């Protein structure tokens, strides 16, 4: 039997910005600067943060992940959503149509987005070679077990396969806390 072990990365709340919104929040011609690289090639945590202001609460410093994307997307946990007072849907990254809106504030201005706030569906990035080796297809729903005192099997873990990805499972802070998981722990794909 093959053990399909996957490293787990815990995603805290974060935001991806469009180029237009970077300029609106940080000033004309502004470009994000890299603080540290992320597990996915070419992706990075920026030095810059924005304030996120909901009807009930706010977070003063939400980390921006670069590079810029076509559309701005704020990813929060369900716990964060209650604190902000917004009701984001559970979505795969990039699927933001009809999702929640919110106000963003940067040093040079404010932007109110009508949609773009989501709770990210748990997922695994597979390099094409990992997926082939394990017979896993893009968009497949997987079950992943994490052991321990708070052992959990996560269902509906979305497989995302690309030559540009590195093997990594992404869950949010609620999921990590519920399962007693820290960054660098591993899960096992059980089907």
Residue 25 or 84: the one with the smaller Cβ distance to its own copies is 84
**How far out from the chain centre does Cα 130 lie?**
21
Query: 93-131 b/e with 16+ CB inside 10 Å = b?
Result: beebeebbebebbbeeeebebebbbbbbbbbbbbbeebb
Please say whether the dihedral angle defined by the alpha carbons of residues 7, 163, 175 and 64, taken in this order, is positive or negative: positive
Interface with its own copies includes 22 (CB under 8 A)?
no
Pattern 37-76, binding to its own copies, x per CB under 8 A? ----------------------------------------
Distances (CA, A) of 92 to 15, 160, 163: 14, 10, 19
Interface with its own copies includes 133 (CB under 8 A)?
no
Separation between Cα atoms, residue 142 and residue 156, nearest integer Å = 6
Separation between Cα atoms, residue 180 and residue 150, nearest integer Å = 6
Interface with its own copies includes 156 (CB under 8 A)?
yes
Interface with its own copies includes 93 (CB under 8 A)?
no
Q: How far is the CB of 79 from its own copies (least distance, A)?
A: 5
Interface with its own copies includes 178 (CB under 8 A)?
yes
Interface with its own copies includes 152 (CB under 8 A)?
yes
Residue 26 or 154: the one with the smaller Cβ distance to its own copies is 154
Among 10, 35, 45, 153, binds its own copies (CB under 8 A): 153
Separation between Cα atoms, residue 129 and residue 169, nearest integer Å = 16
Interface with its own copies includes 108 (CB under 8 A)?
no
Residue ranges binding its own copies (CB under 8 A): 77-79, 90, 121-122, 147, 149-156, 172-175, 177-180
């Amino acid at each position: 039997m093959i053990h399909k072990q996957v490293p787990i990365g815990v995603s805290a709340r974060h935001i991806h910005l469009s180029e237009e919104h970077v300029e609106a929040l940080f000033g004309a011609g502004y470009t994000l600067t890299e603080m540290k690289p992320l597990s996915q090639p070419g992706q990075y945590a920026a030095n810059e943060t924005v304030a996120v202001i909901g009807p009930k609460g706010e977070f003063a410093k939400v980390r921006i992940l670069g590079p810029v994307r076509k559309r701005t997307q704020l990813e929060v946990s369900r716990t964060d959503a209650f604190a902000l007072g917004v009701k984001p849907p559970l979505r795969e990254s990039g699927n933001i149509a009809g999702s929640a809106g919110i106000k963003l504030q940067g040093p040079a201005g404010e932007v109110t987005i009508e949609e773009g706030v989501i709770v990210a569906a748990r997922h695994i990035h597979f390099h094409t070679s990992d997926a082939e080796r394990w017979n896993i297809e893009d968009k497949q729903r997987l079950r992943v077990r994490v052991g321990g005192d708070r052992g959990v099997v996560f269902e509906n873990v979305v497989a995302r396969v690309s030559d540009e990805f590195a093997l990594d499972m992404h869950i949010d802070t609620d999921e990590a806390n519920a399962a007693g998981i820290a960054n660098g722990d591993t899960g096992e794909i059980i089907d």
